[in-house]
């Protein structure tokens, strides 16, 4: 089939392109390099079955042109702002790069009669709710970040488009995803800080903030496995059950960099910044029941990622 990967030069998107090409699909990639990088897709230059458009998904007419020209059969939508700290200062980033990108893709799908969509959603739609009761169906959604708000808004519009146009949509809500080509986030920050100055490490919060970290190859494997869905929206929480605290991440980074005895300096407080969810866990029963489990634990994913980025 011909797949269109929106945000394909990004961290997750570029790994997904690898998997799609490996399975023999044609891939059209759209990216504006706001967060994605040329380096992430450099090695695809000249590859058969791969075509790249440098384009901003907020420009509706340009995107419609690409749909009309390429006639993709399956849209993988991974384009979004992924820097939550940046949008906390300027919510307009989420309106444009997370919500409007989704709307424009949906409207292009409707106008050119494309039926299949994968949408990268997030555990941030749940806000501060956590624990075993946070399943896909049984909880009111109360995002506390503009990012979570824009992703939940995207899900809402997907629900309407899927119904009105008989689309077949897979939505994954996933937690922090890490791995090779990562360009931001706590692991990346710690490595950068320690390379610049290995005399100490400043840590936001009190270090106890604990989250599940999922390896990008586990996520991509799940997308590839579940991508054929019936009409309507098939929604899954995807992730790992284990978690890694910020202090443990710092320890793993130091260990992998061969540094010992580095003093950790905590800024204190409950979380990194307002809108950050300090502890997160949710119900993975639905996807486990469908026969899928992540291969790497949260700590293993962190260790593999540190090895790849140092």
Q: Please give the Cα distance from 125 to 94 (Å, whole number).
A: 14
Q: Is 145 in the site for a second copy (CB under 8 A)?
A: yes
CB of 59 to a second copy, least distance (A): 14
Q: Which is nearer to a second copy, 92 or 289 (CB)?
A: 92
Cα(140)–Cα(132) distance, integer angstroms: 14
What is the C-alpha separation between 182 and 114, in angstroms, rounded?
31
The interface region with a second copy, picked from 11-19, 102-110, 181-189, 259-267 by CB under 8 A, is: 102-110
Binding to a second copy, residues 71-90 (CB under 8 A): 88
Residues 156 and 47: their CA atoms lie apart, in Å, by 36
H or E element in which residue 85 lies: helix 84-89
**Binding-site member from 59, 69, 110, 200 for a second copy (CB under 8 A):** 110
Beta-carbon contacts of 290 under 8 Å, excluding residues fewer than 6 positions away, are 226, 236
Measure the CA–CA gap between 124 and 297, rounded to whole angstroms: 20
DSSP 207: S
- Residue 237 binds a second copy (CB under 8 A): no
Q: Find all residues with CB under 8 Å of 46, minimum gap 6, and list them.
A: none
Q: Which residue has the tokens 């010992």?
A: 260
Q: Residue 158 or 253: which CB sits closer to a second copy?
A: 158
Report the residue number, 92 or 196, with the smaller CB distance to a second copy: 92
Q: Which residues contact 291 (CB under 8 A, 6 or more apart)?
A: none
Contacts of a second copy in 269-298 (CB under 8 A) = 274-275
- Helix-helix angle 11-22:216-226, to 10 degrees: 50
- The verdict on 308 binding a second copy (CB under 8 A) reads no
Binding string, residues 156-195; x marks residues near a second copy by CB under 8 A:
xxxxxx-xx-------------------------------
Which one of 22, 48, 137, 291 is in contact with a second copy (CB under 8 A)? 137
113-121, 136-144, 203-211, 279-287 -> range binding a second copy (CB under 8 A): 136-144
- Whichever of 52 and 147 has its CB closer to a second copy, that residue is 147
CB of 138 to a second copy, least distance (A): 7
Nearer to a second copy, 150 or 204 (CB): 150
Q: What residues does 244 pair with on adjacent strands? A: 211
Number of helices and strands in the chain (H, E): 12, 13
Residue 144 touches a second copy, criterion: CB under 8 A:
yes
Residue with tokens 């008989």: 166
Phi-psi region of 134 (alpha: psi -120 to 50; beta: other; left: phi over 0): beta
Pick the binder of a second copy from 4, 108, 134, 152 (CB under 8 A): 152
Contact between residue 217 and residue 177 where contact means Cβ atoms under 8 Å apart: no
The least CB distance from residue 82 to a second copy, in Å, is 16
Binding-site member from 52, 74, 118, 146 for a second copy (CB under 8 A): 146
Strand pairing category for 232-237 and 264-266: unpaired
Nearer to a second copy among residue 152 and residue 246 (C-beta) = 152
Which among 44-52, 112-120, 132-140, 289-297 is the span making contact with a second copy, rule CB under 8 A?
A: 132-140
Interacting residue ranges for a second copy, rule: CB under 8 A: 88, 91-92, 95, 99-100, 103, 106-107, 110, 125, 127, 136-150, 152-154, 156-161, 163-164, 233, 274-275
């Amino acid at each position: 089939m011909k797949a269109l990967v929106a945000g394909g030069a990004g961290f997750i998107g570029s790994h997904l392109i690898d998997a799609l090409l490996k399975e023999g699909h044609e891939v059209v990639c759209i990216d504006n390099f706001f967060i994605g990088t040329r380096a992430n897709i450099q090695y695809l230059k000249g590859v058969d079955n791969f075509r790249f458009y440098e384009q901003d998904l907020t420009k509706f007419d340009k995107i419609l042109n690409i749909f009309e020209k390429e006639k993709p059969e399956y849209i993988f939508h991974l384009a979004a702002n992924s820097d939550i700290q940046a949008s906390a200062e300027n919510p307009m980033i989420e309106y444009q790069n997370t919500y409007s990108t989704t709307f424009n893709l949906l409207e292009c799908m409707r106008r050119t009669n494309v039926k299949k969509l994968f949408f990268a959603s997030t555990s941030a739609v749940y806000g501060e709710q956590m624990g075993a009761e946070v399943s896909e169906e049984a909880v009111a959604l109360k995002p506390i970040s503009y990012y979570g708000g824009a992703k939940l808004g995207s899900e809402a519009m997907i629900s309407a488009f899927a119904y009105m146009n008989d689309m077949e949509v897979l939505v994954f809500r996933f937690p922090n995803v890490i791995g090779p080509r990562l360009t931001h986030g706590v692991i990346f920050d710690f490595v950068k800080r320690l390379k610049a100055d290995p005399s100490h490490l400043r840590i936001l919060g009190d270090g106890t903030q604990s989250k599940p970290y999922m390896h990008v190859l586990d996520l991509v494997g799940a997308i590839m496995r579940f991508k054929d869905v019936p009409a309507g929206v098939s929604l899954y929480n995807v992730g790992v059950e284990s978690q890694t605290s910020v202090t443990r991440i710092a320890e793993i980074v130091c260990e992998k960099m061969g540094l010992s005895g580095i003093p950790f300096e905590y800024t204190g407080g409950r979380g990194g910044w307002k809108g950050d969810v300090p502890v997160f866990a949710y119900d993975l029963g639905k996807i486990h029941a469908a026969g899928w489990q992540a291969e790497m634990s949260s700590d293993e994913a962190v260790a593999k990622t540190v090895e790849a980025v140092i």
